[in-house]
């Protein structure tokens, strides 16, 4: 197996069984919040001479599989980049198919999520989504709102720059109305104004398919996040790949600008 970040590739020794590695990983710090840029659905389909939508459908199955495994490992929040504000530029038929996936995914997986105590959330601008997509999301959010386990957040019609602009506008309005003083604006003020308010900042970002960029995803929230890039296409991303990313995270020294061996 290989792990890759910022062009560096390192071979992982395969000496323990998968279950032994799982046990070892859970004995160390597991990222509280993992964010994933799910990339490579189209390329997965092309490699198999299938239409691009087949890759998106297979990618939906991967979300379910990875959510289960993240929950097993003790991850508290999982945020998946499902559809960006830029993705509207794709062919109309492809966009329409993608917009039907939340309805199918949540319809099939919702009973299990309720049983597993998983809570569903979404970030983005839902008002621009088709009605059937919004209704599926709203139903899942309502049905799971009292759950206290893993928070599964779908970034749908989401763009980080737009999120930051909107948050800044809201803060400016609060200042204009005398609700907030300029000197009282802090990082916490911005955190509370963002769509991710209430979620911890991601400790680990995973991007699949070999692309090494953020693509307008959680730009504020990822300031001190560890990055893990892999060549694996999202539909092929399996439990062992998530475990590999977590093992990589556990082997890093998170200094937050301090000296080696210091936590801050």
Residue 44 labeled ligand binder: yes
Q: Taking the CB of residue 108, how many other CB atoms lie within 10 A of it?
A: 12
Q: Residues 208, 209, 213, 214: is their CA dihedral positive or negative?
A: negative
Task: Print burial letters for 116-150: b (CB count within 10 Å at least 16), e (below 16).
Answer: bebbbbbbbeeeebeeebbebbeebeebbeebeeb
Residue 5 labeled ligand binder: no
Residue 116 labeled ligand binder: no
Residue 48 labeled ligand binder: no
Parallel, antiparallel, or unpaired for β 119-124 and 151-158?
A: parallel
Q: Catalytic: 253?
A: no
Residue 226 labeled ligand binder: yes
Residue 207 labeled ligand binder: yes
Residue 55 labeled ligand binder: no
Residue 107 labeled ligand binder: no
Residue 210 labeled ligand binder: no
Q: Catalytic: 39?
A: yes
Q: Cα angle vertex 40, ends 23, 153, to 5°? A: 60
Residue 19 labeled ligand binder: no
Residue 42 labeled ligand binder: yes
Residue 213 labeled ligand binder: yes
The C-alpha atoms of residue 222 and residue 13 are separated, in whole angstroms, by 29
Residue among 87, 147, 170, 191 flagged as catalytic:
87
User: Alpha-carbon Rg of the chain, whole angstroms?
Assistant: 19
Residue 90 labeled ligand binder: yes
Residue 86 labeled ligand binder: yes
- Please say whether the beta carbons of 232 and 208 come within 8 A: yes
Q: Taking the CB of residue 47, how many other CB atoms lie within 10 A of it?
A: 13
User: From the annotation, which residues make up the binding site for Mg(2+)?
Assistant: 39, 226
Q: Which sequence positions are flagged as catalytic?
A: 39, 87
User: From the annotation, which residues make up the binding site for substrate?
Assistant: 40-44, 52, 56, 84-86, 88, 90, 207, 213-215
User: From the annotation, which residues make up the binding site?
Assistant: 39-44, 52, 56, 84-86, 88, 90, 207, 213-215, 226
């Amino acid at each position: 197996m290989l792990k890759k970040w910022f062009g560096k590739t390192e071979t992982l020794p395969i000496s323990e069984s998968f279950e032994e590695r799982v046990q070892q990983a859970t004995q160390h710090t597991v990222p509280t919040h993992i964010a994933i840029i799910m990339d490579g659905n189209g390329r997965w389909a092309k490699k198999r001479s299938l239409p691009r939508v087949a890759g998106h459908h297979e990618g939906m199955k991967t979300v379910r599989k990875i959510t289960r495994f993240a929950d097993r490992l003790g991850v508290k929040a999982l945020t998946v980049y499902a559809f960006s504000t830029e993705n509207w530029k794709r062919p109309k038929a492809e966009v329409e198919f993608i917009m039907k996936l939340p309805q199918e995914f949540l319809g099939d997986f919702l009973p299990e999520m309720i049983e597993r105590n998983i809570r569903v959330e979404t970030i983005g601008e839902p008002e621009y989504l088709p009605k059937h997509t919004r209704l599926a999301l709203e139903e899942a959010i309502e049905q799971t709102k009292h759950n206290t386990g893993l928070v599964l957040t779908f970034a749908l019609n989401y763009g980080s720059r737009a999120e930051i602009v909107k948050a800044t506008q809201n803060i400016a309005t609060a200042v204009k109305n005398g609700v907030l003083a300029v000197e009282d604006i802090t990082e916490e003020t911005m955190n509370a104004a963002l769509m991710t308010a209430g979620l911890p900042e991601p400790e680990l970002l995973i991007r699949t398919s070999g692309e090494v960029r953020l693509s307008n995803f959680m730009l504020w929230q990822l300031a001190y996040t560890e990055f893990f890039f892999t060549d694996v296409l999202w539909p092929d991303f399996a439990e062992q790949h998530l475990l590999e990313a977590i093992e990589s995270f556990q082997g890093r020294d998170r200094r937050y600008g301090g000296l080696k061996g210091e936590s801050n």
